[in-house]
């Protein structure tokens, strides 16, 4: 038994070179244990007892993620993989030598009349198959060393941990041998130094090595390692059962829609904001309908655009024509843009009046709309469509000038929105163009009487961006607290149309709602859920669990999990795969997406200084992970 003391190493550190200084030695000593005792089969590293193993036997066939159980071991277990590529010439020469050895042994056994060894037969077959794949260029050879180090607080506990780790390895058909008389080398091999002091290697080909990647989750389909698009998708969190990473790409599915269902406080908005933030890194734009003002801080931090409808000076003009940009950079519009805008204004007036228009009213309104556009110089000629559009007040003036009683009646109905209490929303042209990588439409400051019309204007602005071929790029349309949107006919129709047609415009609809039972009880809600390839279920209320179980065909275990799930925990359902996961955010991300009032009270003085609107997502990505002291991240906040 050999014991090394920390004082001796500290003296060596101070005398190791002429440039060594006392502060440098003290910094190095902070990473050194108090004492290191080397025994034949274990080490005493400070107060911890350490034992190491080298894997010498492997199973014949493996599946992706087969090493994942090693990472889910409940104790402290370090897993080290040392990989060394073999050049093709050496690989071919070794395979030829191995085949000659195996074939010679087989023929010698046959000549002696002995029974063939099944293990040798299997090894020969595998060698021939591997040699053929290498010769065809379908894979390469690598030398893999797999080592394990287990830690415990005492000798008795270490013995129990060693037995448990060896049993776990045996269940995976791994033969883990202790590094007897090389315990120090085994411990150093498992440290993040990239040093292999044991050098017990096994030859694997490319497919076997890819399957041995320990962070590959066996619960979700693994991407092809040779794909140029890897990695893709968004990291949602980690698997609650296997501790593997839950990484999902919605744009790789049949459609790009997602639905997030959960009770109040389950972490719906937290998860949606986390996905939006991480999707910005991939160049995916997002348009968010925010009824509760939960996305403003996020938009300010990443340089997005926030339209707080209902505040003074923020307006969306419903008379704006959907102008686009041609390949030469000139503004243009579809041929039927004026007709479609006139039809849309019929819907706007119907929402403002809170009642469908009668045939006589529609006829008068159609004539008044055409006259209003002509007064501003906009006609059926597309060359006039770039002129400033009229306002709602111009339409009211046109109706007041008509001799028909129906026109004057319509003008009287428009008075509150033109000269009355609600005139600020329509008092001028559009103030802020909803352009940018993140556009948030905040509806919290709107009075109840304007919620319906403002929602209609927001949905129209979003659809213009999504359906514009000159702006075609991947984007998300987020309807947070969608139950508020579905209470309005215009909002319900928009969700239905977006769920059906979003994929054709390279967009994905995200619907998050807490009224799970009400959504699933309607035909519209079921259509939205059915057309979502990604379905996320968070904690459910006991009153709604029966409906959720019937619609999603949950098992008893999944039903119990959703009833007892913690905040931020959920079930990711992707058709044939279901994964229980825990949402995880970094401290910097947590500061931007949390809505916990207690935390926001502590962040408020700092947010006023830190939330600077950047002009690009790349700059935000640099600022997001600055080394600033932040409180520990929580799993999820609704």
The answer to whether residues 269 and 348 belong to one domain is: no
Instruction: Give the CATH number of the domain where residue 339 resides.
Output: 1.10.8.730
Tokens for 402, please give them. 């008509």
Residue 260 covered by a domain = yes
Tokens for 536, please give them. 């996320």
**pLDDT band (50, 70, 90) for residue 11:** very low
**pLDDT band (50, 70, 90) for residue 432:** confident
Residue 433 covered by a domain = no
Of the ranges 74-78, 147-151, 281-285, the best mean pLDDT one: 147-151
The answer to whether residues 493 and 414 belong to one domain is: no
The answer to whether residues 456 and 509 belong to one domain is: yes
User: CA 14 to CA 26: how far, in whole Å?
Assistant: 9
Residues near 164 by beta carbon (within 8 Å), at least 6 away in sequence: 73, 75
pLDDT for 616 beyond 60: no
Q: In a 3-state reduction of DSSP, which class is residue 145?
A: strand
Beta bridge partners of 305: 439
The answer to whether residues 346 and 368 belong to one domain is: yes
Beta bridge partners of 503: none
pLDDT for 628 beyond 70: no
Determine the average pLDDT of the residues in 521-547: 87
Determine the average pLDDT of the residues in 337-364: 87
The answer to whether residues 589 and 444 belong to one domain is: yes
Lowest mean pLDDT among 367-381, 387-401, 617-631: 617-631
Residue 236 covered by a domain = no
Determine the average pLDDT of the residues in 72-87: 89
Lowest mean pLDDT among 4-18, 118-132, 160-174, 246-260: 4-18
The answer to whether residues 394 and 455 belong to one domain is: no
Q: What is the pTM of this model?
A: 0.66
Write down the pLDDT at residue 571: 92
Q: In a 3-state reduction of DSSP, which class is residue 483?
A: helix
Determine the average pLDDT of the residues in 529-553: 89
The answer to whether residues 360 and 442 belong to one domain is: no
Residues 632, 309: contact at Cβ < 8 Å?
Answer: no
Per-residue pLDDT tens for 155-208? 999 999 999 999 999 999 999 999 999 999 999 999 988 899 999 998 888 888
Residues 507, 466: contact at Cβ < 8 Å?
Answer: yes
The answer to whether residues 396 and 542 belong to one domain is: no
Write down the pLDDT at residue 428: 86
Write down the pLDDT at residue 367: 92
**pLDDT band (50, 70, 90) for residue 473:** confident
**pLDDT band (50, 70, 90) for residue 104:** confident
Instruction: Give the domain range for residue 343.
Output: 331-426
Per-residue pLDDT tens for 224-262? 444 444 456 888 998 887 777 888 889 888 889 999 999
Q: Look at residues 255, 254, 237 and name the one whose alpha carbon lies nearest to residue 246.
A: 237
Domain count, the chain: 2
Lowest mean pLDDT among 13-27, 93-107, 348-362: 13-27
The answer to whether residues 587 and 467 belong to one domain is: yes
The answer to whether residues 409 and 528 belong to one domain is: no
Q: Where are the beta strands (DSSP E) in 140-222?
A: 141-152, 175-178, 202-205
Residues 525, 534: contact at Cβ < 8 Å?
Answer: no
The answer to whether residues 370 and 255 belong to one domain is: no
Rounded to 5°, the CA angle 189-193-197 comes to 30
The answer to whether residues 481 and 379 belong to one domain is: no
Q: Dump the DSSP string for 77-131.
A: EEEEEEEEE--HHHHHHHHHHHHHHHHHHHHHHHHTTPPPPHHHHHHHHHHHHHH
Residue 482 covered by a domain = yes
Parallel/antiparallel/unpaired status of strands 48-57 and 141-152: antiparallel
Residue 80 covered by a domain = no
């Amino acid at each position: 038994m050999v014991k090394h003391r920390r004082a001796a190493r500290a003296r060596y550190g101070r005398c190791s070179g002429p440039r060594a200084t006392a502060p440098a030695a003290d910094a190095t000593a902070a990473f050194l244990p108090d004492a290191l005792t080397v025994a034949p089969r274990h080490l005493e590293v400070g107060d911890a007892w350490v034992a190491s193993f080298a894997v010498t036997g492997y199973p014949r066939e493996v599946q992706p993620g087969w090493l994942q159980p090693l990472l889910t071991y409940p104790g402290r277990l370090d897993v080290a993989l040392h990989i060394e590529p073999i050049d093709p010439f050496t690989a071919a020469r070794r395979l030829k030598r191995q085949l000659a050895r195996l074939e010679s042994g087989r023929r010698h056994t046959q000549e002696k009349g002995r029974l063939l060894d099944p293990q040798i037969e299997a090894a020969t077959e595998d060698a021939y198959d591997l040699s053929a794949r290498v010769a065809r260029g379908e894979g390469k050879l690598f030398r893999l060393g797999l080592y394990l180090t287990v830690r415990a607080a005492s000798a008795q506990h270490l013995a129990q941990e060693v037995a448990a780790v060896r049993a776990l390895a045996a269940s995976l058909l791994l033969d883990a041998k202790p590094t007897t008389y090389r315990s120090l080398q085994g411990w150093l091999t498992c440290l993040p130094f990239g040093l292999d002091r044991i050098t017990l290697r096994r030859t694997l080909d490319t497919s076997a090595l890819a399957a041995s990647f320990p962070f590959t989750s066996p619960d979700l389909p693994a991407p092809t390692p040779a794909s140029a698009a890897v990695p893709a998708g968004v990291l949602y969190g980690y698997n609650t059962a296997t501790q593997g990473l839950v990484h999902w790409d919605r744009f790789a599915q049949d459609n790009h829609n997602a639905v997030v269902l959960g009770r109040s406080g389950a972490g719906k908005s937290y998860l949606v904001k986390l996905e939006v933030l991480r999707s910005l890194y991939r160049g995916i734009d997002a348009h968010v309908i925010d009824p509760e003002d939960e996305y403003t801080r996020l938009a300010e931090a990443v340089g997005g655009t926030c339209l707080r409808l209902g505040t003074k000076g923020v307006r969306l003009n419903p008379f704006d024509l959907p102008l686009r940009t041609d390949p030469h950079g000139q503004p243009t519009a579809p041929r039927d843009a004026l007709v479609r805008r006139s039809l849309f204004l019929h819907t706007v007036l119907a929402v403002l009046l809170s009642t469908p228009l009668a045939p006589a009213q529609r006829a008068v309104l159609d004539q008044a709309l055409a006259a209003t556009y002509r007064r501003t110089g906009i006609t059926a000629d597309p060359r006039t469509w770039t002129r400033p559009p009229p306002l709602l007040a111009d339409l009211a003036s046109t109706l007041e000038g008509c001799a028909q009683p129906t026109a004057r009646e319509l003008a009287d109905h428009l008075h509150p929105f033109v000269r009355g209490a609600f005139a600020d929303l329509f008092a001028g042209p559009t103030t802020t163009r909803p352009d940018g990588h993140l556009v948030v439409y905040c509806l919290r400051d709107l009075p109840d009487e304007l919620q319906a019309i403002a929602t209609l204007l927001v949905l129209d602005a979003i659809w213009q961006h999504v359906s514009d071929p000159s702006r075609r790029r991947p984007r998300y349309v987020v309807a947070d607290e969608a139950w508020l949107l579905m209470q309005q006919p215009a909002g319900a129709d928009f969700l239905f149309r977006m769920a059906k047609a979003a994929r054709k415009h390279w967009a994905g609809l995200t619907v998050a709602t807490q009224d799970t039972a009400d959504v699933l009880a309607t035909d519209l809600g079921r259509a939205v859920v059915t057309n979502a390839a990604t379905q996320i279920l968070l904690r459910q209320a006991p009153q709604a669990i029966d409906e959720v179980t019937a619609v999603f065909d949950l098992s008893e275990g999944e039903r119990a999990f959703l009833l007892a799930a913690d905040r931020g925990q959920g079930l990711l359902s992707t058709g044939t795969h279901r994964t229980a996961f825990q949402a995880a955010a970094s401290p910097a991300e947590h500061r931007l997406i949390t809505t916990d009032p207690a935390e926001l009270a502590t962040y408020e003085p700092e947010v006023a200084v830190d939330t600077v609107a950047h002009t690009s997502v790349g700059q935000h990505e640099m600022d997001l992970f600055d080394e600033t002291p932040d409180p520990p991240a929580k799993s999820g906040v609704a």
